[in-house]
Structure 1
Amino acid sequence: MEIKELTTLEEMLAQFDLVQHLYSNNFTLEKYKAYLTEMLPHNYIQIAVFEEGQCIGLSGLWSGIKLWSGRYFEIDNFIVHPDHRSKGAAKIMTDYIKTKAEAAGCTMIVLDAFTGNFTAHRFYYNQGYYPRGFHFIKTLNEGGLS
């Protein structure tokens, strides 16, 4: 397996088929492109794992600074293709992100996992992540969600 940072719109768009495993059918290539176009100027990259030229794992990654934490990385849209789970791709990505965060002087890595996604919870616990608080949301447009 090979890990690579995706930093261009074209590289990210090429992985759309994998991203579709996270979202419903109303998440289109056009919507993905529009979102990425807005995200890329704001410290967004993707970390991808390839096996024999096929992208089998992908995670968005943001960098930022908050008053309470200082510099941090945020994992976003973490996915491993269902046919390639339990091969170690997810650990390769989290290890890579940890090394990158340490090199950048981050105090922490943060992420959101939906409350019912127990498989993800178990994986993140095993990687040393733990819940620190609640991520509250107030949905304003249910139809606009992916």
Structure 2
Amino acid sequence: MIQLKERTTKAEMLQQLPLIQQLYPEFTEQFYGDLLDEMLTNNYKQVVAFENEIAVGLSGFWVGTKLWCGKYLELDNVIVHPNHRSKGVGKLLTEYLNQKAIDLGCKVVALDAYTNNFPAHKFYFNHGFVPKGFHFVKFLKEK
């Protein structure tokens, strides 16, 4: 049985590094921790899916307000361990965060998905998400 738990502290989130490395294999604990130091000051949180006390999926999330939509909840890096995909973990995470957005009075749930991540596009379409526009980026320097 999958249990969802919110994580709000750096120490709790650092424990999720192996899952984060599924998407960002180059991340070290130090680098991830430095990012969390900045992100946590901007109300970043995570919801983690556990099966038998083992983390099998997670999504970061933020709540904010923008002119185009008002109050919103943004999913950030939805990750499901490859051994646990197609078992409903992603659905549980997105449904949990959708309900959280409703409970918080958000008008929109938003997310970004890489343009070449077609499995993610299919998943999000199947869960009621639609593309609203383009998320343009301009890289100012290499990582």
Instruction: Give the TM interval when normalised to the shorter protein.
Output: over 0.9
1:125 aligns with 2:131: no
Deviations, residues 46-101 of structure 1 (Å, cap 9, x unaligned): 01100001000011000100112110001111100001101111000000001000
1:66 aligns with 2:66: yes
Q: What aligned pairs does 1:95-110 form with structure 2 within 5 A after superposition?
A: 95-110=95-110
> How far 1:43 moved relative to its partner?
1.2
1:93 maps to which residue?
A: 93
Which amino acid in structure 2 is aligned with residue 54 of structure 1? I
Q: How many equivalent pairs are there? A: 142
Which amino acid in structure 2 is aligned with residue 2 of structure 1? Q
2:13 maps to which residue?
A: 12
1:38 aligns with 2:62: no
> How far 1:141 moved relative to its partner?
1.4
2:83 maps to which residue?
A: 83
> How far 1:6 moved relative to its partner?
0.4
- Tell me how far apart the structure 2 counterparts of residues 23 and 93 of structure 1 sit (CA, whole Å): 19
- Tell me how far apart the structure 1 counterparts of residues 44 and 107 of structure 2 sit (CA, whole Å): 18
Structure 1: give runs of 5+ residues left out of the alignment: none
- Tell me how far apart the structure 1 counterparts of residues 25 and 33 of structure 2 sit (CA, whole Å): 16
Off by >2 Å, runs of 4+ in structure 1: none
1:21 maps to which residue?
A: 22
TM-score normalised over the length of structure 2: 0.97
Percent of residue pairs identical: 52
> How far 1:24 moved relative to its partner?
3.6
- Tell me how far apart the structure 2 counterparts of residues 18 and 137 of structure 1 sit (CA, whole Å): 25
Q: What secondary structure does 2:22 align onto?
A: coil
RMSD: 0.7
Q: What secondary structure does 2:41 align onto?
A: helix
- Tell me how far apart the structure 2 counterparts of residues 140 and 21 of structure 1 sit (CA, whole Å): 26
Q: What aligned pairs does 1:39-54 form with structure 2 within 5 A after superposition?
A: 39-54=39-54
Structure 2: give runs of 5+ residues left out of the alignment: none
